[in-house]
């Protein structure tokens, strides 16, 4: 700094920076700030070649710290390219960052989310979707936990919602449910149906003046669609009793907020009776709770009546 600012010896300062980075044992550790200051020095003093030289130094920094990638270096380099409006260079850096993290067995989810936010800021919808899908499909390669994968899946659903691509969000929900059948996914899908614009509301939005804010109102279409999903969740083959209870409790809360006395009662009537039972485990009597759900009414009452009459006829004619 003294050579550059006080003595105005640019060549001497450059040699000092070069010597400084050479003395750092990069295989063991590195100082991100040193590389950043060196790059800044070249950008300030390199005249026509300053930016190019600065980029070379930052690229070299990334290469020499790849065993333990430095967030500060990537953050600074990307910030520099953003200021210059060099979007493709930013993309290249994000991709390199993710690659380096994978090769060094570090989690890449935070950086991938940062990359997604960058593309969102540019309104690059297709790129955003592609990155979310990459996160979902590359869990092992990205060294991600299952929780992070779920965050990418739910993040993609939320993005579809923001883009009014509701059918694609539904399809993703259904794919997730088919894989895991978690009660929370069913609940999320049911509530999703009451959080989006209906076809009529979308038409009003398209015809409205952009300066006028439209108030979102949950209407009968929302309620019908949400109730349909809740019922599908209960009727899903092999649905566990614990899942059914979670779904019914959430359905009750929904009806308390958006339904009426009749709709609330219809859900309460679906709740199970809790029965205490006893069983023997390793010779010891143990109590447990059993949940008895109301019997599902036959879907073909006419056929049931026919069978009932047939049984009566058979008894009478014995």
pLDDT in tens, 19-56: 666 666 554 445 678 888 888 888 888 667 889 989 99
- Output the six-digit token pair for 141: 């390669």
Residue 202 belongs to some domain of the structure: no
Q: For residue 169, is it within any domain? A: no
Write out the DSSP string of 175-242. Answer: HHHHHH--HHHHHHHHHHTTTS--HHHHHHHHHS-TTSPPPP---HHHHHHHHHHHHHHHHSTT--HH
CA distance 114 to 88: 15
Question: Is 97 inside a domain boundary?
Answer: yes
CATH code, 75: 1.25.40
Does residue 224 belong to any structural domain of this protein?
no
Question: Angle at the Cα of 129 (from 126 to 135), degrees rounded to 5?
Answer: 140
In a domain, 52, yes or no: yes
Residue 88 maps to a domain? yes
pTM above 0.85, yes or no: no
Whether 200 is covered by a domain: the verdict is no
Range of the domain at 6: 1-106
CA 15 to chain centre: 48
Say if 133 falls within a structural domain.
no
- Domains held by the chain: number: 1
What single DSSP character describes residue 269?
T
Nearest to 160 by CA among 205, 197, 125, 195: 125
Q: What is the pLDDT of residues 140-194, one digit of tens each?
A: 665 555 566 788 999 999 999 999 999 999 999 999 999 889 999 999 999 999 9
Question: How far apart (Å, rounded) are the C-alpha atoms in residues 205 and 192?
Answer: 19
Q: In the structure, how many helices (H) and strands (E) does the chain have?
A: 15, 2
């Amino acid at each position: 700094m003294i050579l550059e600012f006080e003595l105005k010896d640019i060549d001497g300062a450059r040699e000092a920076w070069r010597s400084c980075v050479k003395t750092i044992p990069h295989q063991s550790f590195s100082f991100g700030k040193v590389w950043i200051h060196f790059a800044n020095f070249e950008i300030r003093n390199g005249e026509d070649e300053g930016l190019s030289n600065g980029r070379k130094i930052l690229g070299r920094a990334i290469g020499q710290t790849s065993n333990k990638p430095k967030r500060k270096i990537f953050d600074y380099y990307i910030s520099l390219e953003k200021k210059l409006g060099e979007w493709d260079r930013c993309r290249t850096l994000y991709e390199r960052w993710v690659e380096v993290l994978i090769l060094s067995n570090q989690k890449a989810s935070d950086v991938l989310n940062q990359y997604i936010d960058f593309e969102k800021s540019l309104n690059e919808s297709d790129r955003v979707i592609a990155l979310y899908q990459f996160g979902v499909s590359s869990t092992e390669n990205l060294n991600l936990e299952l929780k992070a994968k779920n965050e990418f899946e739910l993040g993609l659903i939320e993005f579809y919602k923001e883009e009014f691509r509701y059918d694609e969000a539904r399809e993703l929900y259904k794919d997730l449910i088919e894989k895991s059948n978690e009660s929370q996914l069913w609940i999320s899908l049911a509530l999703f149906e009451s959080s989006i614009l209906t076809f009529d509301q979308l038409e009003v939005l398209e015809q409205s003046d952009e300066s006028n804010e439209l108030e979102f109102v949950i209407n009968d279409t929302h309620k019908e669609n949400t109730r349909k999903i809740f019922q599908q969740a209960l009727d899903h083959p092999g649905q566990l009793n614990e899942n059914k209870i979670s779904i019914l409790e959430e359905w009750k809360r929904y009806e308390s907020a958006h339904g009426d006395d009749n709709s609330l009662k219809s859900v309460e009537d679906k709740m199970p009776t809790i029965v205490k039972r006893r069983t023997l485990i390793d010779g010891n009597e143990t109590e447990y709770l059993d949940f008895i759900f109301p019997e599902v009414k036959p879907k073909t009452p006419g056929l049931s009546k026919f069978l009932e009459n047939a049984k009566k006829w058979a008894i009478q004619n014995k």
